[in-house]
Amino acid sequence: MKKKYKNKVQNILDKISLINFKYQEVLKLDTNNFNIFSLLKKESDEVYLHSMFIFELLNPEGSHQQGNKFLKIFVEKLGFNDFYLSNIFIEKEYKNIDIYITNGKQSIIIENKIHAKDQNKQLERYVKLIKKEGIQDIKVVYLTLYGYEPSLESVGDIDTNLVLPASYKSDIDKWLELCIKECTLLPTIRETIVQYRSLIQKLTGKNQARGYIMEISNLLMNKENIQIASDLNEAFIEAKIITQLNFWSALEEELKNKGMSISSLDDYKYSEEKVRDYYLKSRNNKYFGILVKVENLGKDGRVFYNFEVDEAIYHGFSIMANDGDWATNNEPKFDSLSDLVTELDSGFERSKYWLGSKYVKPNLNFKNFNQNSIYALTEESELRKTVSLLANEAFEQIKVFTLKAKKV
């Protein structure tokens, strides 16, 4: 790269840094940082915050007393203009469906995923359940922070055209904006929705002032700068790949230093190819990581301690059968082992593929790559500090699990 070009790149980065500094100072003074939802609930709580609040707004019988006004805006925003809004039945956790809406002839299934992992044939299972009730006109809304598509494992055998990926960042934010406009003369409802929308923007990184993005955009709006921006974007993707690879490598090294035995199963273990596909492919690019050998169960397989990535890093205990496939971890015969995992940490959640799993703290979302906890991993000292904490937690949990499992 010529020196003149390098200087231009540096000049742009310096200007962006100054813009960022200015708006960070503005955010510190922003009273919108006070949020009642953040105070009373865990901000990413899917069930008791987000599904609950969205359900309440959508429910024609909700305490807002606005009938189907918010539901009408919702279905129109998602393009379901042929959905009839008479004889509406809406329920949360209906047959494990996060939010279920039906008029008796048509149905909308909303699967809400803030940080939860996809389950095997989950969407297929929901669709078949509703079809058994005699309803064939079914739409599935797969709601995530950024509009990700569900995994093929979750979709199963159903037609992918039935599934609409929707996002909090765009779809829910716009819906809430329209709901707020409908509540101009209803201050209590309006301000409650404003507070919830503010939380959504915080979770999706939209709480940066609009002016911040526009200033950067204006900076790039000439032929030379836009070319540099394109080069920077490619370099950013490479930087994300390197950052994640360094994380896995450092974590594996730390685990080995503590005497833990790492599985070399190629189908599961991280690699440069898998990490590169994670950022460059849109499907079948997740669910890899590191397997730590824990306990041999004989004919029932082996217990592993897993570190795995979907959008973010999560960890926990799971059982792999002797044929190399994951065992059905929620079978009754594994109840006692799952109870041991829950005793270690009540935050562990059991599922078909896990005796118990949870997202690591601090949250490490490698897909969005927009958190301070992720940025910090580019610094060697912070990277070592993070993997050390994770390895220490794994070591202590494995030690206790192994001792107690011998008594089961």
Q: Where are the domains of the chain?
A: 36-203, 230-405
pTM summary value: 0.70
**CA separation, residue 9 to residues 3, 15, 31, 41 (Å):** 10, 10, 35, 43
Phi-psi map region of 309: left, alpha, beta (phi>0 left; psi -120 to 50 alpha):
beta
pLDDT score, position 399: 95
**CA separation, residue 234 to residues 72, 231, 239, 279, 300 (Å):** 41, 5, 9, 11, 46
pLDDT score, position 209: 55
- For the chain, residues with pLDDT lower than 50 are 31
Q: CA–CA separation, 20 vs 348, rounded Å?
A: 37
Q: CA–CA separation, 249 vs 229, rounded Å?
A: 30
**CA separation, residue 11 to residues 81, 216, 225 (Å):** 49, 13, 10
Q: CA–CA separation, 33 vs 30, rounded Å?
A: 6
Assign 362 to helix, strand or coil: coil
Q: CA–CA separation, 199 vs 181, rounded Å?
A: 18
Preceding omega of 362 cis (within 30 degrees of 0):
yes
pLDDT score, position 118: 74
